[in-house]
Amino acid sequence: MAKHITTPLSDETVASLKAGDQVLLTGVVYTARDAAHKRLIALIKEGKDLPIDLQGQVIYYVGPAPAKPGDPIGSAGPTTSMRMDPYAPTLMEHGMKGMIGKGMRSQEVRDAMVRHGAVYFAAVGGAAALVAKRIKSAEVVAYEDLGPEAIRKLYVEDLPLFVIDDIHGDDLYEQGVAKYRKA
Amino acid sequence: MGCAKPRVIQAGDIADAMEKLCISACCNLPEENLERIEAFAAREESEVGRQVLEMILENHRLAAREQRPACQDTGLAVVFLELGQDVRIEGGDLATAINEGVRRGYEKGYLRKSVVAEPLFERKNTRDNTPAIIHTSIVAGDKLKITLAPKGGGAENMSAVAMMIPAAGVEGVRKFVVEQVRKAGSNPCPPVVVGVGIGGNFEVAPLLAKKALVRPMGSKNPNRAYAALEDELLEAINKLGIGPQGLGGSTTALAVHVEYAPCHIASLPVAVNLNCHVSPHQSITL
């Protein structure tokens, strides 16, 4: 049974999630990929304000396809999260509570999740047309010049996700492989 | 003996064909891809794994039904051309025609533009998904066969080439390929398709690996020894436990395709090019 959770994520919600849980997430999430992360981190280094308030927020690592007429967004599956590993701990320091992507995170990022009380979810990579059906609205809120890599504010309803890394340091990828590995 | 008259193909027709191919390849996946995923779903050991494979199938059917790209990463446009030597192209040059078709197809098909003009300093998006990556072979005949394999970044980043010594042999190749898939883990959107290129040289092996990915999914190399190697590698990879999306399970790869070429007496080049479960590709002959 999937748990229903909403954003912004409270500390209680984050603490209740365990690696292996299936969740349906509802609420606002922000999109950002490599190029947007690079700019956010540069602003933090310069001590400037960010274009989005990260408190309790969830960042979805996605560069969506363009919307067809009448749709809020085009196909929008997760991109590989490890490319954001160099930036993620700093964003957690600034209040980010959740990340959605696909693929393994570095030990540094997992340690930062334990330290800051944040969680990492995976969406099903390559099921991008299906994921887009759960996105009800989308607007560019920063870095429009980056095209697919701009920061978008999405409103999602019952987005199906797996909890990969929780605040206890457990990791679903490690558990899954350990269970089914035969050689 | 008279000279054979060249067959004329208009550059505009090439651009038109390319435009249609871009949209269709991203939305309409080969039927054998879906059949293969169904077959693996039926024997997947993990319940979550089966659930993920069902979601993937639902996604791929939805993409075709609503003509949406199955994956938001509609990739670099990798194009293989087999150009008959009796063809004459009029009304423009070949590369320009291909790129014009990519430009129009990615725009009209609402496909993502994923190309930066320069890799290191500015990384500015070209905004029309050009240039395409074009590999051309001159062949006998008077036809032009265009194969498009849009290639996403996630699986491409998990690819590798090794310059082995001949003594490494079959065992060396087997270890390298399986280890590459193991290291890639959940990153390349498993279940993956594994393209393996063996032989040639430093630039040929990766090209063979990429060509292996445009074979019909699950097809066999005509050489029996290489076909047996494909089976053996697939079995070994599916014992890794990575499973659908890396969540654990018995379906880590849907197929292993091996292509080979003659090589230097001193060399054993091996390349692994991974593809995700979407594995889009389509051909058209003019």
Burial of A26 (0-12, 13-18, 19+ CB in 10 A): middle
Q: What is the dihedral of CA B74, B79, B80, B86, to 10 degrees?
A: 140
| Gap from B27 CA to chain A (nearest CA, Å) | 10
pLDDT tens-place values along chain A, 183 residues long? 799 999 999 999 999 999 999 999 999 999 999 999 999 999 999 999 999 999 999 999 999 999 999 999 999 999 999 999 999 999 999 999 999 999 999 999 999 999 999 999 999 999 999 999 999 999 999 999 999 999 999 999 999 999 999 999 999 999 999 999 997
The answer to whether residue B68 neighbours chain A at the CB level (below 8 Å) is: yes
| Gap from A84 CA to chain B (nearest CA, Å) | 13
First to last CA, chain B: 27
**Of B58, B62, B248, which has the smallest distance from its Cβ to A177's Cβ?**
B248
pLDDT confidence tier of residue B5, bands split at 50, 70 and 90? confident
Q: Per the structure block, which two tokens stand in for A159?
A: 């987005």
CB B133 within 8 A of CB B78: yes
Q: Domain limits of chain A?
A: 3-180
The answer to whether residue B245 neighbours chain A at the CB level (below 8 Å) is: yes
Comparing alpha-carbon positions, the chain A residue that sits nearest to B66 is: A129
Comparing alpha-carbon positions, the chain B residue that sits nearest to A22 is: B48
Report the pLDDT value the prediction gives residue A5, as an integer from 0 to 100: 98
Inter-chain contact B246–A173, Cβ cutoff 8 Å? yes
Which pTM does this prediction carry? 0.96
The answer on pLDDT for B205 being more than 90 is yes
Q: Which residues of B touch A172 (CB under 8 A)?
A: 247-248
pLDDT confidence tier of residue B1, bands split at 50, 70 and 90? very low
Inter-chain contact B243–A63, Cβ cutoff 8 Å? no
Report the pLDDT value the prediction gives residue A183, as an integer from 0 to 100: 78
- Phi/psi for A42 (5° steps) reads -60, -40
Q: Which residues of B touch A35 (CB under 8 A)?
A: 123
How long is chain B?
A: 286
**Of A77, A103, A179, which has the smallest distance from its Cβ to B246's Cβ?**
A103
Q: What is the dihedral of CA B219, B66, B152, B122, to 10 degrees?
A: 160
Burial of A4 (0-12, 13-18, 19+ CB in 10 A): exposed
Q: Which residues of B touch A38 (CB under 8 A)?
A: none
| Gap from B19 CA to chain A (nearest CA, Å) | 17
The answer on pLDDT for B137 being more than 80 is yes
Comparing alpha-carbon positions, the chain A residue that sits nearest to B239 is: A182
Q: Cα(A21)–Cα(A2) distance, rounded to whole angstroms?
A: 7
Please tell me whether the interface predicted TM-score (ipTM) of this complex is above 0.90. yes
User: What does the pLDDT look like over B140-162, one tens digit per residue?
Assistant: 999 999 999 999 999 999 999 99
Tell how far CA B19 is from the center of its chain: 18
Q: Cα(A113)–Cα(A92) distance, rounded to whole angstroms?
A: 8
User: What does the pLDDT look like over B78-129, one tens digit per residue?
Assistant: 999 999 999 999 999 999 999 999 999 999 999 999 999 999 999 999 999 9
Q: Cα(B226)–Cα(B173) distance, rounded to whole angstroms?
A: 12
Inter-chain contact A149–B125, Cβ cutoff 8 Å? yes
| B96 sits in which H/E element | helix B94-108
A3-180 CATH choice from 2.40.160.40, 3.20.130.10, 3.40.50.720, 3.30.230.70: 3.20.130.10
Q: Which domains does chain B have, with CATH numbers?
A: 7-26+70-151 (3.30.360), 154-279 (3.30.1330)
The answer to whether residue B275 neighbours chain A at the CB level (below 8 Å) is: no
Report the pLDDT value the prediction gives residue B2, as an integer from 0 to 100: 53
What's the DSSP call for residue A171? B
Inter-chain contact B112–A149, Cβ cutoff 8 Å? no
Mean pLDDT to the nearest integer, B240-265: 98
**Of A102, A127, A181, which has the smallest distance from its Cβ to B59's Cβ?**
A127
| Gap from B262 CA to chain A (nearest CA, Å) | 32
The answer on pLDDT for B3 being more than 70 is no
Picking from A114, A115, A56, A112, the residue whose alpha carbon sits closest to that of residue A84 is: A112
CB A85 within 8 A of CB A108: yes
- Report the phi/psi class of residue A160: left, alpha or beta, with left for phi > 0 and alpha for psi in -120 to 50: beta
